[in-house]
A and B are shown apart, each in its own frame.
Chain A
Amino acid sequence: MGTALEVRDLHVSVEGKPILKGVNLVVRQGEVHALMGPNGTGKSTLANTLMGHPNYEVTHGEILFKGKDLVGMGPDERSRLGLFLAFQYPVAIPGVSLANFLRAALNARRRASDSTDKGMPIPEFRKLLKQKMDVLKMPHEFAGRYLNEGFSGGEKKRAEILQLATLEPEIAVLDETDSGLDIDALRIVASGVNDLAGPELGVLIITHYQRILNYVKPQFVHIMLGGRVVESGGPELAEHLEEHGYDWIREKVGETVAEA
């Protein structure tokens, strides 16, 4: 069995306000999970907490990965350990080209495992980057553009997937990667994810649309509501949501709460 990301009874507050109220979730290398739920249920909070955003305070629980608790680790350490977050709103960094940034990121990983590493030679990096860009149908001139600056919504999401492809993490969380994409961009991004998914990569797709699941097929589907994962199942769960929406789950959870 490969590496797993294991979230145990996670409670998270933002500016003192509890958002996550006991999340439990396990994503293993080689698996594709979808985490669904209406807006405002804490999905993005979970994504950013997993990555270590400084504004998200873990008040209880654990995030286990490769035998370590990520809580308390910086985002850079988590990344070098093999975790990746494709951002819902990737921030623009003026003056920094996508290529230079990605090379720095790759080299930071190499140095972390071998402090004497001199970094990937530029020709080798260029070759690697071109190859990854071709898979995502990105024109090569993209590499010279400033990171996310003036990128369209689709370009930003593709750039996120390019980073995912280049950094080769073991677990990737895709936060609303499908939002703001037209159908063509969605297809490209989804096929990029499908190409990357495999025994080496575990994927957690966070979405409140069913749409992306027409292109990327998860083995596991979870529903988040009120800061907790309230229902888990197979692909049929997503289909059920597609047909019936979220009301039935609200009722069901309401009953659970009433019973409790």
Chain B
Amino acid sequence: MSPRTVTARSSTATAAAATEAGFPFRLEDVRARSAALGEPAWLLERRLQAWAATERLPFPTVKDEAWRRTDLHAMPRPSLALGSGGPQAIDRELLQPLAGELHGALLALTPGQEPVREGGRDLARRDVIFTDWATAVREHPEILERWLGKAVADDEGLFAALAASLASDGVVVHVPAGVRVAQPLHSVLWAPGSGRAFFSRVLVVVEEGASVTFVHETASPTEAAGHALHAGIVELVVGAGAQLTFVELQTWGQHVWNITHERSTVARDGKLDWIFGAVGSQVTKNFSELSLAGQGATGRMSGFYFADGIQHLDHDTQQNHLAPSTTSDLLFKGALVDRSRSVWQGMIYVAPGAQKTDGYQANRNLLLSTQARADSIPGLEILADDVRCTHGATVGQLEEEPIYYLMSRGLPRKEAERIVIDGFFSPIMERIPYEGVRARFLRMIEAKLE
């Protein structure tokens, strides 16, 4: 792919008032959004608090340690207005069942439009909540009040604060204690259009002994010109002995600046299987944090990314071992073509007293062009003495010997390379429990290599 020419389109919002950081949003926008969603006073108050934080928090620069390798200065902030997106209807492909042959419950969100839902009728009977934000506000305010902000602090960064004050699209999942949901839940946030800023929230609570699989996608078509912003908060709460498989697929158009703050807490003997797939966006900065808060908790983080053109994908992961006998296992694998760039920086933190913990992190990168670049920065901070923590990071290129070997069996070069690349990603594919998701990843690889 050749680099795109990117031109900023002038904003439709011409109001002079703007945030400190230069975005064209105003306090009235926060009030208007909250009112439109019919939110109770406490929720408006939360938003106003978050709004206050947006005025306090600086716009990140490369002088900030977390942002050293991801430069946002070219983001055309004044041109990113609130509002609904472009006219493109949702890609039907996104509505196909991904997890299992069964069509589980599906929820499709498009900013400015009514959510579309399919299936999942029996969920309510079991008191399982799987719904959009407005419905959650109307029907389950106690769940929001109880859990919102428990994992991600609204003011942990400018973009978290923006999402917390302005998000109008969101997904809420709540599985009551002991309920095991066999059918996978699948939601899609589809936000087409340029010159727009989109904010979203995801809240997943799996109570004690419950289990669920949830696939959440964020997507849009690539616009020919202009930019868009998506900032999101993802909160995952896994109760004692509960199990959550959370798959997130990021296929934003290559005009989107995508910044997310995602955190999980896992209670005693709880289990989180967290899978990331990222192929979209112009720039992504994804903060993902796993906190193993209760003894015996385990968390696995598996990341797949593939960048092309001038894409820049930055995954910033943190594995916190806060209790004894906790286990974490992170594997992120990425490939890069053209002039794209990836950053992975990961930290394993072991708190004092979190003995008998086992932490692992590995990041492997495959550079498929001489102009691509991958930065891989592992880190350990261990404040307990009886632990096992290991890490590894590699950046490599396709080797000629395996290609020659495969070609000697009749495979054309392109196919031989593809087989080696698929093989590279295979350890990640093996961690994905659903054929539909695996097939989607393989199609993503194919699209990138075309």
Question: What is the interface of chain A, defined by CB distance below 8 A to chain B?
Answer: 51-54, 74-76, 78-80, 84-85, 87, 90-91, 93-96, 101-102, 104-105, 108-109, 112, 146, 163, 167
Q: Does B397 contact A (CB under 8 A)?
A: no
In the complex, what distance in Å separates the CA atom of A94 from the CA atom of B402?
10
- Determine which of B404, B411, B415, B426 lies in contact with A94 in the assembled complex, contact meaning CB atoms within 8 Å: B426
**Which residues of B400-450 have CB atoms within 8 Å of chain A's CB atoms?**
400-402, 404-413, 415-416, 419-420, 422-427
In the complex, what distance in Å separates the CA atom of A94 from the CA atom of B362?
16
In the complex, what distance in Å separates the CA atom of A38 from the CA atom of B259?
64
A104–B415 touching, CB < 8 Å: yes
A52–B408 touching, CB < 8 Å: yes
With contacts A96-B423, A96-B426 known, is A91 near B413, CB below 8 A?
A: no
A93–B405 touching, CB < 8 Å: yes
Which of A52, A76, A78, A87 has the most CB atoms of chain B within a 10 A radius of its CB? Answer: A76
Chain B: residues with Cβ within 8 Å of the partner, total of: 23
- Determine which of B408, B424, B426 lies in contact with A75 in the assembled complex, contact meaning CB atoms within 8 Å: B408
In the complex, what distance in Å separates the CA atom of A87 from the CA atom of B406?
12
C-beta contact mask, B128-150 vs A, less than 8 Å → 1, else 0? 00000000000000000000000
C-beta contact mask, B374-413 vs A, less than 8 Å → 1, else 0? 0000000000000000000000000011101111111111
Write out the residue numbers on chain A whose beta carbons fall within 8 Å of the beta carbon of B416: 76
Question: What is the interface of chain B, defined by CB distance below 8 A to chain A?
Answer: 400-402, 404-413, 415-416, 419-420, 422-427
Which of A52, A53, A102, A104 has the most CB atoms of chain B within a 10 A radius of its CB? Answer: A104
With contacts A54-B400, A74-B413 known, is A95 near B407, CB below 8 A?
A: no
B419–A76 touching, CB < 8 Å: no
Write out the residue numbers on chain A whose beta carbons fall within 8 Å of the beta carbon of B405: 87, 90-91, 93
Closest 4 CB pairs of A and B: A95-B426, A95-B423, A79-B410, A96-B423
With contacts A95-B422, A101-B419, A108-B415 known, is A79 near B409, CB below 8 A?
A: yes
B423–A76 touching, CB < 8 Å: no
19 contacts between A and B (CB under 8 A): A51-B408, A54-B404, A79-B409, A84-B408, A93-B402, A93-B406, A94-B423, A95-B422, A95-B423, A95-B424, A95-B426, A95-B427, A101-B409, A102-B409, A104-B419, A105-B409, A108-B410, A108-B411, A112-B410
In the complex, what distance in Å separates the CA atom of A76 from the CA atom of B420?
15
With contacts A53-B404, A54-B404, A104-B419 known, is A94 near B410, CB below 8 A?
A: no
